[in-house]
Amino acid sequence: MADETPQLAPPQITHKPPFTAEETEIPPQPQQELESASVTENDQPLASVEMPPTEPLLPVEEQLKEAVTVEKETPLTPPLPEQSLTAEHVSVTTAAAPTPPISQPLDSVLAAPQKIESPEPPKEEAIESEKSKKKAPESIVSFKVESNKLSDLSDSERRALEEFKNLVQEALNNRLFSSASPSETSNSPEEVSIWGKPLLKDDCSNVILLKFLRARDFKVKESLAMLKDTIQWRRIFNVDELIKEDLGDDLEMVVFMRGQDKEGHPVCYNVYGEFQNKELYAKTFADEQKRSEFLRWRIQFLERSIRKLDFSPGGINTIFQVSDLKNSPGPGKRELRIATKQALQILQDNYPEFVAKQVFINVPWWYLAFYRMISPFLTQRTKSKFVFAGPSKTAETLLKYISPELLPIQYGGLCVDFCECNPMFTVDDPVTEITVKPATKQTVEIIVNEKCTIVWELRVVSWEVSYGAEFVPNERGYAVIIQKTKKMAPTDEPVVSNSFQISELGKILLTIDNPTAKKKKLLYRFKVMPYEN
């Protein structure tokens, strides 16, 4: 309870020496990150790779292995002897630390990925030998969302925007966007809204029109044609009424919004493995009517999400997409393939430039192989929006873009679902990230100058370290063991939570011993609570 907390300043964290997470570029293996591409020119909000509907499916895997293979991970060097371990310390005192703003969840949509299925996978040794022959796709420059401020546009872009606005105004004056017959039209200009924003009424229109211009490489006439088609489709699909309907929550575990990335883009998570549930799969895709309802749900999800974006020239109007490919079904599922194709066609034709970044996690090697095959057909702009991360690199990759207090616990962060149990920590409580170097010990000191109860939680991404905690009073020659040193395996609980009641001044010492040859990401946070008599 907030009113029970003593008047202590928020904690301040000082590092000695300073630690910074090293940014690693796409290494040559399937588990590592790859900056890459969207599969459609228009960058639909939920990018997904659509397999060409060629048959038969069975020989495809063999073709992929011939076309692209991926190097296996480099074996780790043996850890240094125990006596060579070095200790590093991080001191924490109770002074100021900024708290991040609470992020509001947004709704979004789903695009189902495609997977190549084969009757029998090759033996592991044969796969590794084949993968090691060639390298994964090379890194390219990462995509950055362009500014929508007029002052940041080039001269040619400003001219194209002004020309586009003039053509749109002319179309509104002549009621060219209307589906009514000439006898039903009036002399007044037509009023048209898209994503809840009326065209040419304020600066938000510039942002909307720039999306269509960028989708068509600033070719004004092509952009106008795309806009007209989108407006007509929205009327036929009755989008403005669709967003008011109650379509149920059966798919809330498949697609959900959680927090924002470090640049402020709302984050949408797409968990395709949920469709391994046969009951859910049949309920969603079994027949044409169910697939139609799925499509309506998907568009509703997207529309509700978009209407919460900021269409002002300096606002956030794109979404950060995370697509979890673990256990995802593939093109062998005919019903899913049909639904995906229908949805992707609508997304690419009517929702341009809504992706800030598309990160694929838990990526199997076949997905990178397939990407290598389609890469020559993709634009550089499109490629730069994709990031691939295999299972061993999922948490490390996401933490580059998303703060740990906002990253769900199942993906390497410390964010848990809100519930009536009122968890001790929320997204308001900042997390400290520290890199624990190979073959080193890291000590975090939490120094407290008043009677209180200290509560903390801690995780090391992928564990394989030893963790211990103790309390050391200032004026006594002993230490109180809070947690005996314990080796933490990757299969252990992802987060360690603990507390300690302090009746005399001193400090809490949290020790991480990393004997491995790999650096580890340490995440922790703590709270000062009232002393309980």
Average pLDDT score over the chain: 76
Q: Are 41 and 355 in contact (CB under 8 A)?
A: no
The tokens for 527 are 């709270």
pLDDT greater at residue 429 or residue 60: 429
Q: Give CA–CA dist 464/517, Å, rounded.
A: 11
Q: Give CA–CA dist 287/415, Å, rounded.
A: 37
The Cα-based distances of 372 to 49, 50, 135, 366, 386 in angstroms read 12, 14, 10, 10, 13
DSSP collapsed to 3 states, 423-484: CCCCCCCCCEEEEECCCEEEEEEEEECCCEEEEEEEEECCCCEEEEEEEEECCCCCCEEEEE
Smallest CA-to-CA distance from 168 within 158, 157, 179, 160 is with: 160
Whether residue 523 has pLDDT greater than 50: yes
Question: How is 36-98 classified by DSSP, letter by letter?
Answer: E--SSTT--SS--PPPP--S-STTHHHHHHHH---PPPPPPPPPPPGGG-EEEEEEEESS---
Q: Are 377 and 37 in contact (CB under 8 A)?
A: no
Choice among 83-87, 139-143, 518-522 with the minimum mean pLDDT: 83-87
pLDDT greater at residue 139 or residue 255: 255
pLDDT tens-digit readout, 112-171:
333 333 444 444 444 444 443 444 443 344 567 788 999 999 999 999 999 999 999 999
Q: Give CA–CA dist 293/451, Å, rounded.
A: 59
Percent of the chain with pLDDT over 70: 69
Q: Is 362 exposed, middle or buried (0-12, 13-18, 19+ CB in 10 A)?
A: buried
Residue 36's pLDDT band, with cuts at 50, 70 and 90, is very low
The tokens for 168 are 């749109």
Whether residue 418 has pLDDT greater than 80: no
Smallest CA-to-CA distance from 72 within 32, 131, 155, 116 is with: 131
The tokens for 136 are 């994964």
What secondary structure letter does DSSP report for 250?
Answer: T
What is the chain's length?
A: 533
Q: For residue 516, give the amino acid letter.
A: T
Would you state the pLDDT for residue 81? 39
Cβ neighbours of residue 162 closer than 8 Å, sequence gap 6 or more: none
Would you state the pLDDT for residue 17? 36
pLDDT tens-digit readout, 469-517:
999 998 877 899 999 999 999 899 999 999 999 988 999 999 999 999 9
Q: Give CA–CA dist 47/298, Å, rounded.
A: 13
The tokens for 246 are 């109650």
Choice among 5-19, 84-98, 374-388 with the minimum mean pLDDT: 5-19
HSE at residue 305, side-chain half, CA atoms within 13 A, is 32
pLDDT tens-digit readout, 423-466:
788 888 999 999 999 999 999 999 988 899 999 999 999 899 99
Q: For residue 503, give the amino acid letter.
A: S
pLDDT tens-digit readout, 222-254:
999 999 999 999 999 999 999 999 998 889 889
Beta bridge partners of 434: 522
Percent of the chain with pLDDT over 90: 48
Smallest CA-to-CA distance from 330 within 44, 14, 48, 3 is with: 48
Whether residue 52 has pLDDT greater than 60: no
CA-CA-CA-CA torsion for 295, 301, 302, 308, nearest 10 degrees?
Answer: 160
Whether residue 324 has pLDDT greater than 70: yes
Angle value at C-alpha 266, between 264 and 270, nearest 5 degrees: 145
Whether residue 280 has pLDDT greater than 70: yes
Residues 39-53 have a mean pLDDT of 38
Whether residue 75 has pLDDT greater than 60: no
Q: Is the dihedral of CA 167, 169, 174, 178 positive or negative?
A: positive
Q: Are 440 and 525 in contact (CB under 8 A)?
A: no
**Stated pTM of the model:** 0.72
pLDDT greater at residue 98 or residue 513: 513
Would you state the pLDDT for residue 339? 84
What secondary structure letter does DSSP report for 271?
Answer: E
Would you state the pLDDT for residue 89? 61
